[in-house]
Structure 1
Amino acid sequence: MASSLTKDAAEREKTSPAVGGKTFFGHPRGLAPLFMTEMWERFSYYGMRALLVIYLIAGGPDAKPGSQGGGLGMSEANAVAIYSVYVAMVYLLAMPGGWFGDRVWGPRKTVAIAGGVIMAGHLCLALPGQAAFFAGLALVAIGSGLLKSNISTMVGHLYDGPKDPRRDGGFTIFYMGVNTGAFAAPLVIGTVGQEVNWHLGFALAAMGMGIGLACFLFGSRHLSPVSSTVPSPLPKDERNVLLRKAAIWLGVAAVFYGVVGGTGHFTLNWAVIPITILGLIIPITVLFRIKRDKELSDTEQTKVSGYIWFFVAAAVFWMIFDQAGSTMSTFAEKKTTDNVFGLHFPSSWFQSVNPLWVMALAPVFASVWLALARRRKEPTTTVKFSLAMIAIGVSFVVFASAMGLASDGAKVSPAWLLGIYMVQTMGELCLSPVGLSLTTKMAPQKYASQMLGVWFLAVTAGDCVTGLLSTAGVDLNGVGVILGEAAIAVAAGTAIWVSRKKVEGLMGDVH
């Protein structure tokens, strides 16, 4: 036993930070650079997102009268489609981003490269012209996908395994960085972009990512050595096969779009529609492949069947929730009063409301769940999902009411959007952290690492549905459509509630 204890201690010394010495709020010092990197990356991402749709329509027929020109002058429908596809791709690329960290570069190198790619993307957005704009969007989406999974993995590396009592607190501090950056970004980047110059706003987003990358590189010496290793290196023969397949598909795409463009038939839909369809096919394919895997035990197969219920519900939830940056953003720009007590503010400030509600309500929800758990009355996962779906549906009923009040050209009070975001945040707190936890619990052992990427695919699926609807000419700002989406969400929540015994049976020992 002595030799094994010595071996275990040696392994911990090589892979985990020392317990003594300086700390970051009682946590390993490596949490500080990861916190700062995530905060500044979210600052750049949410700042750019707050400007995206408004910039796309600026100078066009759907822009707010008297607003700053200089945008791309697109229709609102095209702007919403581009926004939806962009957000969908960020979450879709989280899966290959995690794969690169596991098989090619290791988490630390992947995050460093991701930061540079994101910064380059924002710099492209800071340049005028559509070519630079779309190149910038692609780079930001790729970089965000590379960073998203790997930086969270490195937070886990700081602790001595899942049972380390500091682990949950460390992730809580880390995710406060997400909301801090998301809250500050629209107030800074949004104000500069809308009130001064669009491209200067995008340049500020690049500067934010640059600060985050500098924090990461400077503080990387405090990270766990495990973060520099490649957990499952890609063999040379497998790498060559992948490179060959990638080259073939890129060649096919280049020839196809070369023909379409060369014959003068290329429009925006030729890019948007294939991507949105792909964003729906991939999640379905991934779930189908996992479900049909004959190596899974009967219990794991049953749990995957139960998980599909939650996945579909989450896709509907994010389809509505992510319209905060598209349909609700244009509503804030054109149909909501932009001053309070005589104080004028740009519409992008509304994008700070959700993270503010998260920071205010998250401790309340956590306390309520703990108090109910002590009394053995905490709602089950199915009940929490039902509440989330009903909440997001109710938020769009309220949105439809506000839209109806503004139908005659009048502008509504900002209180309407504050209330809508509050209800949506309550739904988010019932679904997002619960869904992440549920995913780790219900994941088959074979797919333990991949299932978090599968969870993010629910966001991709939801946003791709929005993109397809917008591309098809559906008026997402129409009261009927808004109420239809609300009805779908409430119906999904009701279906989970009514079927909760069946779903809980499929979940096995997970509740």
Structure 2
Amino acid sequence: MASSLTKDSSGIPGSEKTFFGHPRGLATLFMTEMWERFSFYGMRALLPLYLVSGGTAAAGGSQGGGLAMTAATATAIYSIYLAMVYLLAMPGGWFGDRVWGPRRTVAISASVIMLGHLTLALPGQGAFFAGLALVALGSGLLKANISTMVGHLYDGPDDPRRDGGFTVFYMGINLGAFAAPLVIGTVGQQVGWHLGFALAAVGMGLGLVQFLYGTRHLNPRSGLVPEPLTREERNRVLRRTVLVVLAAAVFYGVVVVAGLYTMNWALVPITVAGLLIPVAVLVRIKRDRELSDGEQSRMTGYIWFFAAAAVFWMIYDQGGSTLAIFAADKTDTSVFGWSFPASWFQSVNPVLIMALAPLLAWIWLYLARRAKEPSTVVKFAAGLALVGLSFFLFILPLSAAGGGKVGPLWLVGIYLLQTVGELCLSPVGLSVTTKMAPAKYASQMLGVWFLAVTAGDCVTGLLSLAGVDLNTTGVVALEAAVAALAGIGVYAYRGKVRTLMGRVH
């Protein structure tokens, strides 16, 4: 890969400015995604801490001004929020394909995200939930479309620069995720929560300016609508949308007038929908009679991967809720007499990814050259085993904390196991999704993969809404056992799953 910014992809100096040997538009998308992730992960690092601030679950000595919720309610809201981000990635891709085109969808979604962070910067519970909904909506709209535009920069799937381009783009994600808790987390925890949320809005604003300024470097295809809606389709979508909104308004209007409304009237239906929609999507694809026998077999095999991924994300995403609250309340946030905000723990995962991803990629390549690389099924089993092991490890500091605090290296060790598990499962999951997708649903299957995150987070949300305390040794041990048993099950049935996968490995 060329390191000069003034060499084009053909290697002829000076003919066209490039970004480390890649199309110059990659710099625009890299910076846009970096700032979007900066705003997203910064707000996410503050979210559970802000929710419990001032309440019984708050860490001793933390500032007030939060919403004084219990740890269970904070975990439920956090989990449902993440679930909605990934659930909305599917309609986000649909808007890019059918309504606005990827470029306009990203510009609109970035504006919505910035507005959401600005709304979060306002005091009051109403502003908080409105802002959270806007950030979830904008993030869902942006997620699929900005990746699509990265693909547009290259000459088809066989362009030798394509994989390297996505690797560079992925580094932008992790740079933003690493820096966000250090900057936004520090300001939010030590100066003011709402100032931290406002700083997230500034980050997204910088990303939006960068995107609008650099759009001239993007492929013209990114500005087109690949499959515009017909007039009949548009009218049908509008009618259905209006009917759903009216039905919801009438229903919740009756609930409010009757004096029955509580937060659970909103949270429970959203969580249940987040579980039912992934199941409905998989069933619809599986029952499609137009699929060939081979495609039907691969979809049956894919359901194993989907279920395994849902279990994985159920535990992994608690790194920002259950573990974050434990970090603030029960973990010593000082090293050699120097103290740091608890939100800084959220930078551990992205820095470990940047350090370990190249190493693991080299290991897979080394083993592949010797015909010893683990199969996709074995990598999935390893990912589940590692995330289960991380929660078995969590039992030790959880038991030892009692009324005191444990050392920060316990959490670093837990995040290390989860990160290695993520690197075993997540990239492989994206790859196997594209390989096993039926031709008819090729463009939709990445959205289906994201629904596994939705399903896993909704399970966590339902447990929290049911009053289950996720910070107890019994519950943590049960979750760890479920992940470990799922890993063992996937490994034990690896032969059957490989048969269902056909030629895909």
Query: Do both proteins adopt the same fold according to a TM-score greater than 0.5, normalized to the shorter chain?
Result: yes
**Please, which of 309, 315, 318 is the counterpart of residue 323 of structure 1?**
318
Question: Could you tell me which residue of structure 1 aligns to residue 504 of structure 2?
Answer: 510
Letter in 2 for 1:264: G
Report the secondary structure of 1:208's partner residue: helix
Q: Give the count of matched residue pairs.
A: 495
Match of 2:359 among 350, 364, 374: 364
What's the Cα RMSD here? 1.1
Q: Distance in 1 between matches of 2:57 and 2:171?
A: 36
Q: 1:496 aligns with which of 486, 490, 494?
A: 490
Give 1:66's aligned residue.
61
Pairwise CA distance, 1:443: 0.2
User: Following TM superposition, by how much is the alpha carbon of 1:76 offset from its aligned partner in structure 2, in angstroms?
Assistant: 1.2
Shift of 1:458: 0.1
Gapped regions of structure 1 (runs ≥ 5): 1-15
Residue matched to 1:112: 107
| 1:464 and 2:458 correspond | yes
CA–CA distance in structure 2, aligned partners of residues 65 and 405 of structure 1: 18
Residue number in structure 2 paired with 1:124: 119
Query: C-alpha distance in 2, partners of 1:115/1:152?
Result: 14
Correspondence for 2:478 among 475, 484, 504: 484
1:138-157 matches, cutoff 5 A:
138-157=133-152
- Residue number in structure 2 paired with 1:442: 436
- Give the drift of 1:254: 0.4
1:120-199 to 2 correspondences below 5 Å: 120-199=115-194
Say yes or no: does 1:474 pair with 2:468: yes
Q: Distance in 1 between matches of 2:10 and 2:285?
A: 36
1:207 corresponds, among 183, 202, 207, to: 202
Counterpart of 2:30 in structure 1 is 35
Runs of 4+ in structure 1 displaced over 2 angstroms? 16-20
Residue identity opposite 2:160 in structure 1? P
The alignment status of 1:273 with 2:268, answered yes or no, reads yes
Q: Is 1:375 aligned with 2:340?
A: no
Amino acid at match of 2:96: G
**Equivalent position SS for 2:22:** coil
**1:6 maps to what in 2?**
none
Among candidates 242, 246, 249, match of residue 241 of structure 2: 246
What corresponds to 1:307 in structure 2? Answer: 302
Match of 1:55 among 27, 50, 56: 50
Q: Distance in 1 between matches of 2:42 and 2:288?
A: 41
Structure 2 counterpart of 1:40, which letter?
A: W
Residue aligning to 2:3:
none
Partner of 2:18, secondary structure, is coil
The alignment partner of 2:205 has SS state of helix
Give the SS at the match of 1:91.
Answer: helix
Q: Could you tell me how far apart the structure 2 residues matched to 1:36 and 1:66 are?
A: 37
Question: Is 2:449 aligned against 1:427?
Answer: no
Q: Which amino acid aligns with 1:316?
A: V
Q: What CA deviation, in whole Å up to 9, does each residue of 1:381-409 have, x standing for no partner? A: 00000100000000000011110011x21
Letter matched to residue 466 of structure 1:
T
1:329-340 to structure 2, matched below 5 A, reads 329-340=324-335
Quick one: distance in 2 between partners of 1:497 and 1:231? 41
Whether the 8 Å CA contact 1:382–1:500 is kept in 2: the answer is yes
The amino acid of 1:470's aligned partner reads: S
Please name the residue that 2:403 is paired with. 409
Q: Which amino acid aligns with 2:286?
A: K
Counterpart residue identity of residue 159, structure 2: D
Alpha-carbon offset, residue 65 of structure 1: 2.1
Q: 1:17/1:26 Cα in 2 relative to 1: closer, same or farther (>3 Å)?
A: closer
Q: CA offset at residue 17 of structure 1?
A: 12
Structure 2: how far apart are the matches of 1:424 and 1:57? 25
Identity across the alignment (%): 69
In structure 2, stretches of 5+ residues that fail to align are 1-8
- Cα displacement string for residues 266-304 of structure 1 (whole angstroms, at most 9, x for unaligned residues): 111111100000000000000000000001000000000
Indicate conservation of the 8 Å contact 1:260/1:266, yes or no.
yes
Q: Give, in whole Å, the separation in 2 of the partners of 1:417 and 1:78.
A: 22
Q: Could you tell which deviates more after superposition, 239-248 or 57-66?
A: 57-66
Which residue of 2 is the match for residue 46 of structure 1? Answer: 41
Distance 1:353 1:66 in 2: 23
1:207-243, Cα deviation, whole Å (9 max, x unpaired): 0000000000000000000000000000011110111
Structure 2: how far apart are the matches of 1:137 and 1:22?
39
TM-score between both structures, scaled by the size of structure 1: 0.96
Matched, 1:398 2:393: yes
How far has the Cα of 1:61 moved from its partner?
1.6
Give the corresponding residue for 2:5. Answer: none
TM-score (norm: length of structure 2): 0.97
For the residues of structure 1 that align with 2:455 and 2:484, how far apart are their CA atoms?
A: 18
Q: Distance in 1 between matches of 2:303 and 2:335?
A: 45
Q: Could you tell me how far apart the structure 1 residues matched to 2:247 and 2:426 are?
A: 38
Cα displacement string for residues 152-181 of structure 1 (whole angstroms, at most 9, x for unaligned residues) = 000000000000000000000000000000
Task: Tell me which of 278, 285, 295 is aligned to 1:283.
Answer: 278
* Kept after mapping to 2: 8 A contact 1:81/1:467: yes
In the alignment, residue 439 of structure 1 is paired with which amino acid? Answer: T
Tell me the SS of whatever aligns to 2:227: coil
2:271, 2:96 → 1: CA distance? 26
- Amino acid corresponding to residue 42 of structure 1 in structure 2: R
Q: d(CA) in 2 for partners of 1:33 and 1:409?
A: 49
Q: Among 73, 98, 102, which residue is 1:103 paired with? A: 98
CA distance in 2, matches of 1:268, 1:400: 31
Q: For residue 263 of structure 2, what is the amino acid of its counterpart?
A: L
Aligned-partner Cα distance in 1 for 2:459–2:265: 16
TM-fit CA distance, 1:429: 0.2
Whichever residue aligns with residue 420 of structure 1, its letter is I
- Match of 1:448, as an amino acid? A
Give the superposition deviation at 1:18. Answer: 12
